[in-house]
Every structure is written in structure tokens, then in C-alpha cells.
Structure 1
Amino acid sequence: MRRRPALLVMDLINEIVHPDGKYAAEGYLEQITRRGVLERTAVAIGRARAAGIPVIYVVVGFSAGFADWPEGSPVFDSARADERLVLGTWATRVHEAIRPADGEAVVAKRRVSPFHGTHLEVLLRGLRVDTLLLAGVTTDLVVLSAAREGHDRDYRVEVLEDATATSDQELHEAALKVLARTATITSVDRALPA
């Protein structure tokens, strides 16, 4: 059977991956830079576009006023306190190095999962996708959540390990061990050969 993939580029937004981002200072930027995540993701995006594979961006954020913010969430507890992750602002824009091309979908999410409360599934079904290629940050949160939910929605899931990161290498490696239970751990070059 022919593979029909889509590349999901998740949470590579300024607040997390830009030097001026508030989360960047919490260890994410060091790991993203050391691992070359933006560069590897740019390669993946270029190859996907050249092969006619849909590229879908997922960004996390909340509306101004934070009515949709999950009170009590240990993941998002600091977002409201210092007004991080407001949708439509510089903070939640995809980093300039990998910005969406005209016509590429951007899915806004308000929780860890890219499926929860979004139109991602409708978009994937409309594109007749059967395989998810996952890139982004963080490995232990959005990547893990997307892999598990994608698996349970009957997608084949491939994690582009060299295009993912979290706040430290040990946590990244632990997440990959868990991910290997429901996804194939691969690389940009193997999943999207030149």
C-alpha cells in the first residue's frame, strides 16, 4: 500500500525557539540549537514540499484574556501569569526560519495534544493522509501526545528524532523510549530522502 504522509511541524514558535522567547530561556533553546532542530526541520519541510507532501503547522496558544487557558495545568501554569502564548502575537508565530508557505495550514491548539479541540483530524482526513511525520518541540509533550493520539486514530506515525527536542537530553531520550511503543523512530533523511 502506498504511503500518504503529512509533515506536522509542532510548536516551533517564537516563544519557545527564538532567543527572545520566554520559554527559550528555560533550557529549550540550548537543546534546540545543540540538536539543530530548526535546521533539520527546514530540511524536512523543503523535502516534503518538493515531494508534494502536505506540511501542517501546529501552534499552541490562548486567546487574549485567557478564557481558554487550562487553570491548574502544570504545563501552562506560567502562561497566564506573564501573558505568554497569546494567539496572534509574535510569541505564537512560527519561527521565521521555517515559516509556512502560502496555503499551508496552521492549526491553533490550546492544550498539549494537537488533536484536542482542533480541526486537525478533519484536515488530515480531507488530505487522505495515512502517515504522520512528526517534528517539533517538545518531545515529551506535543510529540508524544500526537504520536499516541495518531496511533489511536489509525495513522502510521513516524517521529523525526533529529527534528525534535525538549528541555534536556535525558528527558528527550526517555520520551523516545516511550514513543517507540506506538511510533517508528526515524530521522529526516530516512523519512524524507533527498
Structure 2
Amino acid sequence: MTSSTQLDPRQTALVIVDLQNDFVSDGGAYHRGGAASDAARALPQRVAPVARALKQRGGFVAASQFTLWPDAQGEPMISPHLRNLRPFLRRGDFVAGSHGHATVAALDDLVDVSVWKVAYSAFFNTQLDWVLRRAGIEAVAICGIVTNGGVASTARDAHMRDYRVLVLGDGCAASTQAAHDAALADLCTVGEVTTCEAFQGRLGA
């Protein structure tokens, strides 16, 4: 579903899901484990102009940061499903405040607020909704990784909270093109799927 309706940038937020060093940068946890996809690594340079254009028009940029909290022994508390999927994760990965945990440098200076999350959705057990409400946000444009995980869950949670939802299709990535395409097709039921360029073109002065 696409639309040409103009957006009020002062009531619009870009939500960047999990574009962190441990996911996409050289030397990060996923790079070490051989799980950093080329599609995901290309996203920061594609998303940065979108964030910059929105901020120049008075809009808001938020980012989520996946976080692995340490237990009493300093070992990361990892959900069983994630441990099975990513057995390479270890002590020091995605630790709050670390370089790996940080949003990538190409985007970091453009982010107004970051929230730390422990599950797929950027809304689950975070203060994102509280922040967006107080910033006067009515529409959210979602991008990042992965399309069928964090992006999809965040979009659905935004929809349930009555935000106007847009998903920047070329600003997202999944482990395979098939998974990416299937997720975007499914997300048409809760919002608009558009492109980074088209979204920028709909931002009013």
C-alpha cells in the first residue's frame, strides 16, 4: 500500500531499528559470527539522508538498540531461541554503553532519542511510546533490521497504538530477499510500504 499524501514533519518520527555496530559493522558480534548480511550493512548510508531530511524539517529521529544484559556472573542473559539461532554470542556483545551496542556512526549524530530493548519490538518494555507521545508524533516511518523481526514487530506495535505507520522498504533488510519481500507484503495490512526517496518527497516544508 502506498500513498502520495503529504506528511507533517513536525508530527513524524523516523524509527531506526537496531542499526548497531554489533549487528552491521566490521569487528561486531555478527561480523565475527559470519551473520552480518551485505544488505544490512548497506542500510546506514541509505537511511542517513532520510534522517537528515526529516530533522531539517523539524521532525524527530528515534533509534532502538538491542541489549544483552549481564547476569550476576557477567554472562549475557540470552533468550533460548536467540541462543540457538546465534550460538556465537558471548560476553561483551551488545552490552549497554559499549561500542558494539552503539548505533552506527553514520546515524548516531542524527538520533534524538535511543531506547534499549530486549526483544523484537522497539515498543516492548521501552519508553518509546512515552517519548513519541510527548514529542507530538502521529506518524512513524520505520526502517532497520530485520524486516521480518524487529521492523515487523515495531510496525505492528505502532499500529496497535494508533500511530500512522509507514515502512521504508528499501531502508530495511532481512537474512534473505524472500524473507524481506514476504514481510513487506504482510506489513501492507498495518501501514504503508514506501521507499526512502518517496518518503522524503512527502515531507512538507
TM-score between the two structures when normalised by the length of structure 1: 0.88
Report the alpha carbon displacement of residue 177 of structure 1 after superposing the two structures with TM.
Answer: 1.2
Letter in 2 for 1:191: F
> Is 2:97 the counterpart of 1:91?
no
Residues 1:140 and 2:148 are matched in the alignment: yes
Q: Give ranges in structure 2 of 5+ residues lacking alignment.
A: 1-5
Deviation at 1:81, TM superposition (A): 5.0
- Which residue matches 1:48? 54
The residue correspondences of 1:55-74 to structure 2 (distance < 5 A) are: 55-65=61-71, 69=77, 71-72=79-80, 74=81
Distance 2:168 2:119 in 1: 22
Report the Cα offset of residue 37 of structure 1: 1.5
Structure 2 residue 71 is matched with structure 1 residue 82? no
What is the identity percentage for the equivalent residue pairs of Structure 1 and Structure 2?
25
Structure 1 runs (4+) deviating above 4 angstroms are none
Query: Which one-letter code corresponds to 1:55 in the other structure?
Result: V
| Distance in 2 separating the partners of 1:49 and 1:79 | 38
After TM superposition, give the deviation of residue 155 of structure 1 in Å: 0.6
Alpha-carbon spacing, 1:100–1:108, altered in 2? closer, same or farther (3 Å): farther
Question: Taking structure 2 as the reference length, what is the TM-score of the superposition?
Answer: 0.83
Structure 1 unaligned blocks of 5 or more = none
CA contact (8 A) 1:94 1:100 kept: no
In the other structure, the counterpart of 1:16 is 23
Distance change in 2, residues 1:159/1:76 (3 Å)? farther
| 8 Å contact from structure 2 (residues 141, 167) kept in 1 | yes
- Give 2:95's aligned amino acid: V
What secondary structure is seen at the aligned counterpart in 2 of 1:58?
A: strand
Give the Cα–Cα distance (whole angstroms) in 1 for the partners of residues 112 and 142 of structure 2: 16
Q: CA deviation at 1:22?
A: 2.0
Residues 140 and 171, structure 1, Cα contact 8 Å, conserved in 2: yes
Give me the whole-angstrom Cα distance separating, in 2, the residues matched to 1:106 and 1:80: 26
Post-superposition CA distance 1:84-139 (Å, at most 9, x none): 221111111011111134x8111111111111111011001101111110011111
Larger radius of gyration: 2
Residues 70 and 77 in structure 2, CA contact (< 8 A), matched pair in contact too: no
Does the Cα contact within 8 Å between 2:68 and 2:78 map onto a contact in 1?
no
Q: Which residue of 2 aligns with 1:180?
A: 188
Distance 1:177 1:2, change over 3 A: closer
